[in-house]
A and B are shown apart, each in its own frame.
With several copies, the nearest count.
Chain A
Amino acid sequence: MPYALREALAAFRRTPVLTGLSATMISLSLFVVGLFGIAAHNIRRVLERVEERVEVVAYLRDDARPDAVRLAQNEIATFPEVREVLYISREQALELAKQELGELRSLFGELEVNPLPASFEIRLKAGHHRPEEVQAVAQRAGAYAFVEEVRYGREWLDKIYLLRRVAGAAALVIGGAFAAVAMLIIGAAVRMAIFARRDEIAIMRLVGATDGFVQRPFLLEGFLTGLLGAALALSFTFLVYRILSGAVFQLEWIPDGWTLSGLAAGGVLGIGASAAAVRRHLRGI
């Protein structure tokens, strides 16, 4: 439809303020969504990395036979969820404890006996950190006779999962709220664009333009404005990402799929808001 396209482009030229404002609105709202996207993506990455460090520790009896221990170590390493199994001797454990206790280190210097047991540190494969899986590994490791106790930070794992779920819910709520606000603002901008051109629209209808003919340029204009706004928002988001990423934290850029979705969302937002405003307002002219 070359006419509608020509008109839509002409609208940019005729009312640059109005069009600029709409694009700014869309870009502002998508910009916020973009920042949120970066935050969400990076929080997810951090959680994943933290999750990877979840491990199962099996404390061994002091009277465990070395060859049985070595056998068990190999056996546990073949569990489908397990990446590697490290054997920590009593001496190594004392050394680690000293390092971790820091200030109170001198305390151990005075000990006559080493109170710490030997242990297996069982590391899990990526993607096998669901609470059920971790529990299963812990149970099987605990079944060995010479294993005194198994620890695997159950509360911690539950907390991470809770955090992820809370973060997901927050993303939905905040993202939805911002999208709603963006729609409202764009709708208002389009309504104002139509308001500013109400004489024009009235005249169009007087010379026999159908509703579709009148609407099409507005819809196309809304779409292009939305796309423009989304592109702007993307640029801003990227700028902020570069500034933050260098100076403050180590951040990852959002996945490419999200970027494309953002552009599409801009266009859809623009055309949707235009359609709603045009349809509602045309009745009143």
Chain B
Amino acid sequence: MILFDHVSKEYPRSGLALNDVSFQVRKGEFCFLTGHSGAGKSTVLRLIHMADEPTRGEVRVSGYASGKIRPREISMLRRKIGYVFQDFRLLLDRSAAENVAFALQVTGARAAVIRVKVGRLLAQVGLAAKAESYPAELSGGEQQRVAVARALANDPIVLLADEPTGNLDERATRGIFDLFRSINTAGTAVILATHDLELVRQNSGYRVLELDHGALVYDSTSSS
């Protein structure tokens, strides 16, 4: 469902952020994306999200190919992808509930449906009590959980999570991770970028992709 075909990404001031990366992620797969700071993890997720185009090679997601996809199709694709951004990207002038609701409004969902779903999602991330708080009134970890709730709103077929537990304590991390696992069990593919090697070690059953200076240096599926 996600295919990287000899993908390189070059930024003007930084040189190669990705260097000839090829891999494939199947429907319903769960996969860790690891690597040191600046290795290219976020860049991989941005390319899947079609927020950037590869300099060389091709990215295919759910039948759409980078370079050929049209603006409208990008919008449609994004509704099927849940993305927990590393820096949250919440709308600062909307409450937690409104931020989650917004991802649903975009698809034209009905107000009654939205209300019920938003309530359930916030409860799942442990923020039912903070539904009416604005991002500035939330702690770092609480903002991160709002971002997770929003990513799950549209029942995505892929969930991209960029460091989704960087601001969370162990208990909250476990809660979020369990949530991802149950979503994965229900058929959603999950790509989780993290440098929390502890988390990766504790869940050694899952596939691991490791980046180093933009190159894919380890893929547990192909090596094992």
Contact = CB atoms under 8 A, between A and B. Distances in A.
Interface centre among A205, A210, A213 (most CB of B within 10 A): A210
Interface residues of A, number: 15
B138 interface: no
Interface residues of B, number: 24
B89 A203 contact: yes
A211 interface: yes
A210 B93 contact: no
Interface of A: 3, 14, 199-200, 202-211, 213
Nearest to A199: B92
B51 interface: yes
Contact of B106 (A14, A199, A202, A204): A204
Interface stretch (B18-26, B69-77, B118-126, B166-174): B69-77
A218 to B, nearest CB: 15
Contacts of A203: 89-91
Interface centre among B49, B89, B93 (most CB of A within 10 A): B93
Contacts of A199: 92
Contact of A208 (B75, B85, B89, B93): B75
Given A14-B93, A199-B92, A203-B89, A208 B72 contact: no
A204 B102 contact: yes
A267 to B, nearest CB: 26
Nearest to B77: A208
B106 A209 contact: yes
Contact of A207 (B72, B78, B92): B78
Contacts of A202: 89
Contacts of B77: 208
